[in-house]
Amino acid sequence: MSGADAPGLDSENGELADMVAAMCTASSHMPTHNGYRSSPSRAAPHRLTISDRKLSLQERGSRAARQPTIETKRVSITDGEDCVQLNQYKLQSEIGKGSYGVVKLAYNEDAEQFYAMKVVSKKKMMKQCGFLRRPPPQGACCKPLEPLQRVYQEIAILKKLDHHNIVKLVEVLDDPSEDNLHMAFELMTKGAVMQVPTKSPFTEKQARFYFRDVLLGIEYLHHQKIIHRDIKPTNLLLGEDGRVKIADFGISNVFEGSDARLFSMAGTPAFMAPEMMTELELSFSGKALDVWAMGVTLYCFVYGTCPFYHEFIVELHFKIKNEAVHFPEMPTISEDLKELITLMLDKNPETRVTIPQIKLHRWVTQDGSDPLPLEEEHCTVVEVTEEEVQNSIRLIPSLSAVILVKSMLRKRSFGNPFESPSRRAERSMSAPGGLLTGPWGLLGSSVHVHPSLMRANNEGSRDGELEDLYEDDAFPETT
């Protein structure tokens, strides 16, 4: 396939790639930024062809280990004319928006490279912790994590993951005296592999091309005892090498033993498994949840829409629990692919196909002619301990107290700080919206999507419950 007809490359992602290329061209003294060299005649990059991709797959064995995530506890923020200077980063245009902050295009002056900077407001997350939530069922092994704790867990997980199909966390910047926590990720200028719904689904060849990457990424996560819980096309980002990388670990779960036993309903409604939608307080398999979401994603790849859809959540849940998968007449897909999707969307998690079985399926391997690497060939065990979660970013007992003491020290006064009318306003770059659930790699505000395609999580408040959040990110509580 050519760059012109490469799948999923929408205008917004192309605009972001053009923006990065233009910035590199303007800075002719800079050698290379994310693969774009300063050349006025260079066109926007296109995705690799399948023949190019096979060369990349053959090089996987010689891949160098990733650099450790940098942790920075002190930040310096200055406002410029066209950007905000954050230590060595120049924060530029906004490429995503959420309830706790934004995602900005960031240029690292030291590394001479662009990154995606996720900026989250700790105040908004701590404020949300005070809202009532449904308690965990009796017998649950642990209580639900609060929003801020989930961010720390996400950081602790991402710091250890090292796989070509997982997005990399490059640096974490957190100053106790500042409201915002900053996370620099590798920039994926091509954005999400697909926006759902779409009138331009993938061919089977293209779908297999991307699905195999998702399969290896999920196998790696399960090998690390991590359940993603929110697999969907907008959380699958395209790298410059044509590989799919899994992103957004905001509601992931770490487990012990052979599988996770989960209780809570979390994820994107249209991609949730039927066993989550019971009124009984029963646990369910975490691995089986990811397999179901992968099945829905594969269906989206070839049909451009979800297999179960309704504008009302209650009706959507009914369809997921009771209706069989329907395969439209057009586009035409092979019987092998229909079989694989049916096996992945088995409503019984006990009989649902597993990751090792999917890897051996004849549609995935093209009747055995193109086998995937064995688990031990691409997975190396890492462990995320409770201590590492606590130390991923240094927790502070009261952010407001630290800011207040800092203000009093600057004034050299320990009287009542609220008596002064000239009390310093806190610096904040936070923005309203949902918890950075909008697709990465998009320019401007987040895409308006149906609530069934937006992530929900009743381990805490749902995205957009607070009154100061964007209404288009709101999602009602369901049980």
The conformation of residue 97, written as its DSSP 8-state character, comes to E
CA distances from 140 to 131, 152, 283, 288, 300 (A): 21, 21, 8, 19, 34
C-alpha to C-alpha distance for 141 and 133, rounded to whole angstroms: 17
What's the CA gap between 102 and 449, in Å, rounded?
18
230, 248, 290, 473: which one is catalytic? 230
110: annotated active-site residue:
no
Alpha carbons 149 and 389: distance in angstroms, whole number: 8
**Number of other CB atoms surrounding residue 41 within 10 Å:** 5
Structure-token pair, residue 56: 């990349």
Distance CA(335)–CA(396), nearest Å, equals 56
Spell out a b/e string for 91-112, using b for 16 or more CB atoms within 10 Å of the CB, else e. bbebbbbbbbbbbbbbbbeeee
Cβ-contact 190, 18 below 8 angstroms: no
Please name the residues in contact with 80: beta carbons below 8 A apart, sequence gap of 6 or more: 90
169-174 and 226-227 strand pairing = unpaired
Following DSSP, what letter does each residue of 270-286 receive, concatenated?
GG--GGGG-SS---EEH
Pairing of strands 32-33, 84-86: unpaired
**Secondary structure of residue 232 in the 3-state scheme:** coil
Query: How far is the C-alpha of 36 from the C-alpha of 52, rounded, in Å?
Result: 18
Report, as residue numbers or ranges, the catalytic residues.
Answer: 230
